[in-house]
Protein backbone atom coordinates (compact mmCIF):
# COMPACT_ATOMS: atom_id res chain seq x y z
CA UNK A 1 0.00 0.00 0.00
CA UNK A 2 1.31 3.43 -0.94
CA UNK A 3 0.25 6.17 1.45
CA UNK A 4 0.30 9.66 -0.06
CA UNK A 5 0.90 12.78 2.01
CA UNK A 6 0.14 15.97 0.05
CA UNK A 7 1.03 19.44 1.28
CA UNK A 8 -1.91 21.17 2.97
CA UNK A 9 -3.26 24.03 0.86
CA UNK A 10 -5.77 25.53 3.31
CA UNK A 11 -4.67 29.02 4.31
CA UNK A 12 -2.90 29.09 7.68
CA UNK A 13 -2.67 25.30 7.98
CA UNK A 14 0.80 24.29 9.20
CA UNK A 15 0.14 20.68 10.21
CA UNK A 16 1.07 17.61 8.19
CA UNK A 17 -0.82 14.30 8.30
CA UNK A 18 2.20 12.02 8.72
CA UNK A 19 5.50 12.76 10.50
CA UNK A 20 8.85 11.01 9.80
CA UNK A 21 8.70 8.88 12.96
CA UNK A 22 5.44 7.33 11.73
CA UNK A 23 7.06 6.63 8.34
CA UNK A 24 9.80 4.67 10.12
CA UNK A 25 7.36 2.61 12.17
CA UNK A 26 4.93 1.85 9.35
CA UNK A 27 7.63 1.14 6.75
CA UNK A 28 8.77 -1.76 8.92
CA UNK A 29 5.26 -3.18 8.58
CA UNK A 30 5.25 -3.04 4.78
CA UNK A 31 3.68 0.36 4.07
CA UNK A 32 5.25 2.77 1.56
CA UNK A 33 5.07 6.56 1.71
CA UNK A 34 5.04 9.24 -0.96
CA UNK A 35 5.35 12.71 0.58
CA UNK A 36 4.96 15.93 -1.40
CA UNK A 37 7.98 18.19 -1.35
CA UNK A 38 7.70 20.67 1.55
CA UNK A 39 4.63 18.95 3.06
CA UNK A 40 6.09 18.95 6.57
CA UNK A 41 8.13 22.15 6.38
CA UNK A 42 5.67 24.36 8.32
CA UNK A 43 5.61 21.76 11.11
CA UNK A 44 9.44 21.63 11.24
CA UNK A 45 9.76 18.29 9.39
CA UNK A 46 12.11 18.59 6.41
CA UNK A 47 12.16 16.55 3.20
CA UNK A 48 15.52 15.15 4.29
CA UNK A 49 13.93 13.85 7.49
CA UNK A 50 11.23 12.06 5.48
CA UNK A 51 13.79 10.57 3.07
CA UNK A 52 15.93 9.37 5.97
CA UNK A 53 12.79 7.77 7.47
CA UNK A 54 12.22 5.84 4.23
CA UNK A 55 9.67 7.96 2.33
CA UNK A 56 9.92 9.03 -1.30
CA UNK A 57 9.56 12.72 -2.06
CA UNK A 58 7.17 13.80 -4.84
CA UNK A 59 7.75 17.06 -6.66
CA UNK A 60 4.08 18.07 -6.70
CA UNK A 61 0.60 17.25 -5.43
CA UNK A 62 -0.53 15.70 -8.71
CA UNK A 63 2.15 13.00 -8.42
CA UNK A 64 1.02 12.17 -4.86
CA UNK A 65 -2.69 12.00 -5.72
CA UNK A 66 -2.21 9.98 -8.91
CA UNK A 67 0.23 7.45 -7.40
CA UNK A 68 -0.95 6.73 -3.84
CA UNK A 69 -3.56 4.14 -2.86
CA UNK A 70 -4.50 6.04 0.29
CA UNK A 71 -4.37 9.84 0.63
CA UNK A 72 -4.00 11.20 4.17
CA UNK A 73 -4.70 14.85 4.88
CA UNK A 74 -5.48 17.16 7.78
CA UNK A 75 -7.92 19.59 6.18
CA UNK A 76 -10.97 18.80 4.07
CA UNK A 77 -10.28 18.65 0.30
CA UNK A 78 -10.52 21.92 -1.60
CA UNK A 79 -9.75 23.54 -4.94
CA UNK A 80 -6.03 23.57 -5.78
CA UNK A 81 -5.44 26.85 -7.60
CA UNK A 82 -1.91 25.83 -8.70
CA UNK A 83 -3.29 22.82 -10.57
CA UNK A 84 -6.64 24.43 -11.40
CA UNK A 85 -8.35 21.28 -10.09
CA UNK A 86 -10.22 20.25 -6.98
CA UNK A 87 -8.29 17.81 -4.77
CA UNK A 88 -11.19 15.36 -4.98
CA UNK A 89 -10.78 15.22 -8.77
CA UNK A 90 -7.08 14.39 -8.34
CA UNK A 91 -7.78 11.20 -6.36
CA UNK A 92 -8.09 7.98 -8.34
CA UNK A 93 -11.55 6.42 -8.39
CA UNK A 94 -11.86 3.69 -5.78
CA UNK A 95 -8.99 4.99 -3.66
CA UNK A 96 -9.31 6.05 -0.04
CA UNK A 97 -9.10 9.56 1.41
CA UNK A 98 -8.56 9.93 5.16
CA UNK A 99 -8.99 13.45 6.52
CA UNK A 100 -11.12 15.75 8.67
CA UNK A 101 -14.11 15.97 6.33
CA UNK A 102 -16.71 17.30 8.79
CA UNK A 103 -19.34 15.85 6.49
CA UNK A 104 -22.21 16.86 8.79
CA UNK A 105 -21.29 20.48 8.09
CA UNK A 106 -19.86 20.16 4.56
CA UNK A 107 -22.32 17.74 2.99
CA UNK A 108 -21.52 19.06 -0.51
CA UNK A 109 -18.01 17.56 -0.20
CA UNK A 110 -19.46 14.15 0.68
CA UNK A 111 -21.71 14.36 -2.38
CA UNK A 112 -18.74 15.36 -4.54
CA UNK A 113 -16.62 12.46 -3.26
CA UNK A 114 -19.42 9.95 -3.85
CA UNK A 115 -19.85 11.19 -7.44
CA UNK A 116 -16.10 10.90 -8.02
CA UNK A 117 -16.04 7.35 -6.60
CA UNK A 118 -13.63 8.37 -3.82
CA UNK A 119 -13.94 6.38 -0.60
CA UNK A 120 -13.69 8.61 2.49
CA UNK A 121 -12.96 8.03 6.16
CA UNK A 122 -13.48 11.20 8.19
CA UNK A 123 -11.33 11.52 11.30
CA UNK A 124 -13.93 13.66 13.09
CA UNK A 125 -16.40 10.76 12.82
CA UNK A 126 -14.23 8.16 14.62
CA UNK A 127 -16.53 6.64 17.31
CA UNK A 128 -15.87 7.52 20.93
CA UNK A 129 -15.26 3.96 22.11
CA UNK A 130 -12.47 2.36 24.10
CA UNK A 131 -11.19 0.51 21.02
CA UNK A 132 -11.10 3.69 18.94
CA UNK A 133 -9.42 5.89 21.57
CA UNK A 134 -5.97 5.73 19.97
CA UNK A 135 -7.49 6.87 16.65
CA UNK A 136 -9.56 9.71 18.13
CA UNK A 137 -8.00 12.64 16.28
CA UNK A 138 -10.82 15.00 17.19
CA UNK A 139 -9.84 14.62 20.85
CA UNK A 140 -6.08 14.77 20.25
CA UNK A 141 -6.39 18.06 18.36
CA UNK A 142 -8.99 19.54 20.73
CA UNK A 143 -6.73 18.75 23.66
CA UNK A 144 -3.97 20.92 22.19
CA UNK A 145 -6.44 23.63 21.16
CA UNK A 146 -7.67 23.87 24.77
CA UNK A 147 -4.12 24.39 26.00
CA UNK A 148 -3.31 27.00 23.35
CA UNK A 149 -6.53 28.95 23.98
CA UNK A 150 -5.40 29.68 27.54
CA UNK A 151 -1.91 30.71 26.40
CA UNK A 152 -3.38 33.10 23.82
CA UNK A 153 -5.78 34.54 26.39
CA UNK A 154 -3.08 34.92 29.03
CA UNK A 155 -0.78 36.66 26.56
CA UNK A 156 -3.50 39.12 25.50
CA UNK A 157 -4.61 39.90 29.04
CA UNK A 158 -2.99 42.88 30.72
CA UNK A 159 -2.61 41.07 34.03
CA UNK A 160 -1.10 37.91 35.48
CA UNK A 161 -3.07 34.75 36.32
CA UNK A 162 -1.86 33.81 39.83
CA UNK A 163 -2.36 35.40 43.24
CA UNK A 164 0.90 37.15 44.03
CA UNK A 165 2.11 38.68 47.29
CA UNK A 166 4.47 41.59 46.67
CA UNK A 167 6.08 44.29 48.79
CA UNK A 168 3.70 46.75 47.14
CA UNK A 169 0.64 44.70 48.03
CA UNK A 170 -1.33 41.66 46.94
CA UNK A 171 -2.22 41.01 43.28
CA UNK A 172 -5.56 39.21 42.97
CA UNK A 173 -5.75 36.12 40.72
CA UNK A 174 -7.33 36.36 37.29
CA UNK A 175 -10.80 34.93 36.84
CA UNK A 176 -11.28 32.61 33.85
CA UNK A 177 -14.69 31.36 32.67
CA UNK A 178 -14.71 28.38 30.31
CA UNK A 179 -17.79 27.54 28.27
CA UNK A 180 -17.94 23.84 27.43
CA UNK A 181 -16.24 21.01 29.30
CA UNK A 182 -15.40 18.71 26.42
CA UNK A 183 -11.82 17.71 25.65
CA UNK A 184 -10.74 21.27 24.78
CA UNK A 185 -12.54 22.74 27.76
CA UNK A 186 -11.06 20.27 30.24
CA UNK A 187 -7.54 20.93 28.98
CA UNK A 188 -8.22 24.67 29.24
CA UNK A 189 -9.34 24.21 32.85
CA UNK A 190 -6.16 22.32 33.76
CA UNK A 191 -3.91 24.83 32.00
CA UNK A 192 -5.59 27.90 33.53
CA UNK A 193 -5.44 26.32 37.00
CA UNK A 194 -1.74 25.51 36.62
CA UNK A 195 -1.17 29.17 35.77
CA UNK A 196 -2.94 30.13 39.00
CA UNK A 197 -6.30 31.47 37.82
CA UNK A 198 -9.69 31.05 39.46
CA UNK A 199 -11.63 28.93 36.95
CA UNK A 200 -15.40 28.67 36.53
CA UNK A 201 -16.95 26.32 34.00
CA UNK A 202 -20.33 26.11 32.28
CA UNK A 203 -21.59 23.07 30.36
CA UNK A 204 -25.08 21.88 29.49
CA UNK A 205 -24.18 18.34 30.64
CA UNK A 206 -24.38 17.91 34.43
CA UNK A 207 -22.46 14.64 33.94
CA UNK A 208 -19.19 16.59 33.55
CA UNK A 209 -19.42 18.35 36.95
CA UNK A 210 -17.21 15.80 38.68
CA UNK A 211 -14.50 16.03 36.01
CA UNK A 212 -14.52 19.83 36.16
CA UNK A 213 -14.17 19.84 39.93
CA UNK A 214 -11.40 17.21 39.86
CA UNK A 215 -9.36 19.68 37.80
CA UNK A 216 -9.99 22.49 40.27
CA UNK A 217 -12.76 24.27 38.39
CA UNK A 218 -16.02 25.56 39.86
CA UNK A 219 -19.00 24.17 37.96
CA UNK A 220 -21.82 26.56 37.05
CA UNK A 221 -24.87 24.33 37.30
CA UNK A 222 -27.93 24.92 35.10
CA UNK A 223 -30.82 22.79 36.34
CA UNK A 224 -32.41 20.57 33.67
CA UNK A 225 -34.68 17.55 33.56
CA UNK A 226 -33.53 16.40 30.13
CA UNK A 227 -30.41 14.50 29.09
CA UNK A 228 -28.02 16.94 27.43
CA UNK A 229 -25.59 14.30 26.16
CA UNK A 230 -25.90 11.95 23.18
CA UNK A 231 -24.82 8.30 23.04
CA UNK A 232 -21.34 9.31 21.82
CA UNK A 233 -20.71 11.59 24.78
CA UNK A 234 -21.12 14.79 22.79
CA UNK A 235 -23.35 17.68 23.86
CA UNK A 236 -26.79 17.61 22.27
CA UNK A 237 -28.43 20.65 20.74
CA UNK A 238 -30.07 22.50 23.63
CA UNK A 239 -33.59 23.89 23.58
CA UNK A 240 -34.22 27.64 23.39
CA UNK A 241 -35.63 27.54 26.92
CA UNK A 242 -32.50 25.88 28.30
CA UNK A 243 -30.14 28.29 26.50
CA UNK A 244 -32.13 31.23 27.91
CA UNK A 245 -31.78 29.86 31.46
CA UNK A 246 -28.07 29.24 30.88
CA UNK A 247 -27.45 32.79 29.59
CA UNK A 248 -29.28 34.32 32.55
CA UNK A 249 -27.23 32.28 35.00
CA UNK A 250 -23.82 32.87 33.43
CA UNK A 251 -24.34 36.60 32.77
CA UNK A 252 -22.85 37.51 36.16
CA UNK A 253 -19.95 35.04 35.80
CA UNK A 254 -19.02 36.20 32.28
CA UNK A 255 -19.24 39.91 33.03
CA UNK A 256 -16.96 39.52 36.06
CA UNK A 257 -14.37 37.44 34.17
CA UNK A 258 -10.97 38.56 32.95
CA UNK A 259 -10.83 35.82 30.31
CA UNK A 260 -13.65 33.83 28.71
CA UNK A 261 -12.86 30.76 26.61
CA UNK A 262 -15.70 29.25 24.57
CA UNK A 263 -15.42 25.68 23.25
CA UNK A 264 -19.02 24.48 22.86
CA UNK A 265 -19.72 22.53 19.66
CA UNK A 266 -22.68 20.41 18.57
CA UNK A 267 -21.89 17.94 15.73
CA UNK A 268 -23.73 18.87 12.56
CA UNK A 269 -25.22 22.06 14.01
CA UNK A 270 -24.28 25.71 14.28
CA UNK A 271 -22.38 26.48 17.49
CA UNK A 272 -24.74 27.81 20.18
CA UNK A 273 -24.39 31.51 21.05
CA UNK A 274 -23.41 31.57 24.73
CA UNK A 275 -21.79 35.00 25.05
CA UNK A 276 -24.14 37.71 23.82
CA UNK A 277 -23.35 41.26 22.77
CA UNK A 278 -25.03 42.46 25.97
CA UNK A 279 -22.60 40.34 28.03
CA UNK A 280 -19.62 41.75 26.15
CA UNK A 281 -20.90 45.30 26.76
CA UNK A 282 -20.89 44.60 30.48
CA UNK A 283 -17.46 42.97 30.66
CA UNK A 284 -14.54 44.84 32.21
CA UNK A 285 -12.39 46.92 29.83
CA UNK A 286 -9.29 44.92 28.89
CA UNK A 287 -11.05 41.57 29.22
CA UNK A 288 -10.42 38.88 26.61
CA UNK A 289 -12.61 36.29 24.86
CA UNK A 290 -11.12 33.35 22.93
CA UNK A 291 -13.81 31.68 20.79
CA UNK A 292 -12.55 28.35 19.45
CA UNK A 293 -15.99 27.29 18.16
CA UNK A 294 -15.91 30.04 15.53
CA UNK A 295 -15.48 27.73 12.49
CA UNK A 296 -19.04 26.52 12.95
CA UNK A 297 -20.65 29.84 13.86
CA UNK A 298 -18.98 30.72 17.15
CA UNK A 299 -20.16 30.83 20.76
CA UNK A 300 -19.67 34.59 21.02
CA UNK A 301 -22.12 36.78 19.15
CA UNK A 302 -19.38 39.24 18.17
CA UNK A 303 -16.52 36.92 17.19
CA UNK A 304 -15.29 36.91 13.60
CA UNK A 305 -13.70 33.82 12.10
CA UNK A 306 -9.91 34.07 11.83
CA UNK A 307 -9.81 37.60 13.22
CA UNK A 308 -9.04 39.46 16.43
CA UNK A 309 -11.57 42.23 16.99
CA UNK A 310 -12.07 44.70 19.81
CA UNK A 311 -15.63 45.49 20.85
CA UNK A 312 -16.65 47.58 23.88
CA UNK A 313 -13.06 47.46 25.16
CA UNK A 314 -12.95 43.63 25.00
CA UNK A 315 -10.53 41.74 22.74
CA UNK A 316 -12.26 38.85 20.95
CA UNK A 317 -10.17 36.14 19.27
CA UNK A 318 -12.04 34.16 16.60
CA UNK A 319 -9.67 31.19 16.51
CA UNK A 320 -10.70 28.61 13.90
CA UNK A 321 -7.55 26.47 13.83
CA UNK A 322 -5.72 26.57 17.14
CA UNK A 323 -4.07 23.16 16.75
CA UNK A 324 -2.18 24.50 13.72
CA UNK A 325 -0.49 27.03 16.02
CA UNK A 326 1.18 24.07 17.75
CA UNK A 327 1.93 22.33 14.46
CA UNK A 328 4.79 20.12 15.70
CA UNK A 329 2.87 18.39 18.49
CA UNK A 330 -0.45 18.49 16.65
CA UNK A 331 1.12 16.75 13.64
CA UNK A 332 2.82 14.16 15.86
CA UNK A 333 -0.37 13.08 17.64
CA UNK A 334 -2.50 13.24 14.48
CA UNK A 335 0.07 11.11 12.67
CA UNK A 336 -0.21 8.48 15.43
CA UNK A 337 -4.02 8.58 15.13
CA UNK A 338 -3.67 8.00 11.37
CA UNK A 339 -1.14 5.19 11.89
CA UNK A 340 -3.42 3.37 14.34
CA UNK A 341 -6.40 3.74 12.00
CA UNK A 342 -4.53 2.46 8.93
CA UNK A 343 -3.18 -0.50 10.86
CA UNK A 344 -6.73 -1.25 12.04
CA UNK A 345 -8.14 -1.28 8.50
CA UNK A 346 -5.24 -3.26 6.96
CA UNK A 347 -4.19 -6.89 7.06
CA UNK A 348 -0.77 -8.21 8.12
CA UNK A 349 0.55 -7.83 4.57
CA UNK A 350 -0.27 -4.10 4.63
CA UNK A 351 -3.24 -4.45 2.27
CA UNK A 352 -6.32 -2.32 2.80
CA UNK A 353 -9.35 -4.20 4.13
CA UNK A 354 -12.44 -2.09 4.77
CA UNK A 355 -14.75 -4.32 6.79
CA UNK A 356 -18.07 -2.50 6.74
CA UNK A 357 -19.35 -4.38 9.78
CA UNK A 358 -16.42 -3.11 11.90
CA UNK A 359 -17.69 -0.50 14.39
CA UNK A 360 -14.87 1.97 13.68
CA UNK A 361 -15.21 1.68 9.91
CA UNK A 362 -19.00 1.86 10.12
CA UNK A 363 -18.86 4.98 12.27
CA UNK A 364 -16.29 6.91 10.23
CA UNK A 365 -16.75 5.75 6.62
CA UNK A 366 -18.55 8.56 4.79
CA UNK A 367 -18.41 7.44 1.14
CA UNK A 368 -17.91 3.97 -0.29
CA UNK A 369 -18.21 2.65 -3.85
CA UNK A 370 -19.85 5.80 -5.16
CA UNK A 371 -22.39 6.14 -2.38
CA UNK A 372 -22.72 8.09 0.86
CA UNK A 373 -22.95 5.35 3.47
CA UNK A 374 -22.71 7.42 6.66
CA UNK A 375 -26.21 7.56 8.12
CA UNK A 376 -25.91 10.91 9.91
CA UNK A 377 -24.47 12.55 6.79
CA UNK A 378 -27.31 11.14 4.69
CA UNK A 379 -29.83 12.50 7.19
CA UNK A 380 -28.22 15.97 6.95
CA UNK A 381 -28.55 15.90 3.16
CA UNK A 382 -32.21 14.96 3.42
CA UNK A 383 -33.10 17.78 5.85
Catalytic residues: 128, 133, 136, 139, 234
Q: What is the CATH number of the domain that holds 358?
A: 3.40.50.720
Query: Is 192 in the same domain as 162?
Result: yes
Q: Evaluate whether residue 150 is within a structural domain.
A: no
What's the mean pLDDT in 154-182? 95
Prediction pTM value: 0.91
What's the mean pLDDT in 152-173? 95
∠ CA 251-316-8 to the nearest 5 degrees?
130
Per-state percent for the chain, helix, strand, coil, to nearest 5: 40, 20, 40
Task: Annotate 118-136 with b (16+ C-beta within 10 A) or e (fewer).
Answer: bbbbbbbbbbeeeebeebb
Query: Is 184 in the same domain as 312?
Result: yes
Checking if the pLDDT of 298 tops 60, the result is yes
Strand order in the sheet with 259-262: 218-220, 198-202, 175-179, 259-262, 288-291, 314-318, 308-311
Query: Is 110 in the same domain as 45?
Result: yes
Query: Where a domain ends, among 295, 320, 345?
Result: 320
Query: Is 7 in the same domain as 51?
Result: yes
Checking if the pLDDT of 26 tops 60, the result is yes
Query: Is 348 in the same domain as 294?
Result: no
Q: Evaluate whether residue 176 is within a structural domain.
A: yes
- As a whole number, the mean pLDDT across the chain is 93
Checking if the pLDDT of 274 tops 70, the result is yes
Q: Evaluate whether residue 380 is within a structural domain.
A: no
For residue 240, the model assigns a pLDDT of 75
Q: Evaluate whether residue 145 is within a structural domain.
A: no
Query: Is 300 in the same domain as 162?
Result: yes
Query: Is 179 in the same domain as 245?
Result: yes
Query: Is 168 in the same domain as 102?
Result: no
Please write the tens of the pLDDT for every residue from 244-258. Answer: 777 788 899 999 999
Burial class (CB in 10 A: 0-12, 13-18, 19+), 248: exposed
What's the mean pLDDT in 196-202? 96
Q: Evaluate whether residue 149 is within a structural domain.
A: no
Query: Is 166 in the same domain as 300?
Result: yes
Checking if the pLDDT of 193 tops 70, the result is yes
Helix H or strand E segment including 62: helix 61-67
d(CA 314, CA 281): 8
Query: Is 164 in the same domain as 313?
Result: yes
Checking if the pLDDT of 233 tops 90, the result is no
Q: Across-strand partners of 88?
A: none
Provide the number of structural domains found in the chain.
Answer: 2
For residue 247, the model assigns a pLDDT of 78
What's the mean pLDDT in 17-38? 97
Q: Evaluate whether residue 17 is within a structural domain.
A: yes
Query: Is 189 in the same domain as 283?
Result: yes
Query: Is 202 in the same domain as 101?
Result: no
Tell me if 204 sits within 8 A of 222, measured CB to CB.
yes
List, in order, residues 6 or more apart from 216 with CB less than 8 Å away: 189, 190, 193, 199
Please write the tens of the pLDDT for every residue from 64-118. Answer: 999 999 999 999 999 999 999 999 999 999 999 999 999 999 999 999 999 999 9
Helix H or strand E segment including 176: strand 175-179
Q: Can you give the residue range of the structural domain that contains 81?
A: 2-135+327-372
Amino acid sequence: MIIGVPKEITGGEKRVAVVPDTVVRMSKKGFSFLVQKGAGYEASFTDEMYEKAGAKIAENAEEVFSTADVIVKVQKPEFNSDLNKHEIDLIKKGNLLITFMYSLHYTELAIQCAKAGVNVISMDAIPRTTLAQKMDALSSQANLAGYKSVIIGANALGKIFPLMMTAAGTISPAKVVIMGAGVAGLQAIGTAKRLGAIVEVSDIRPQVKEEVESLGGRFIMVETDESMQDAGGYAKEASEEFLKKQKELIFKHVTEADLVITTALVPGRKSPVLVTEEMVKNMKPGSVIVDIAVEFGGNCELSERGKVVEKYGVKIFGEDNLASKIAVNASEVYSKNIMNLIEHISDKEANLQLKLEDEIVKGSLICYNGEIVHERTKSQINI
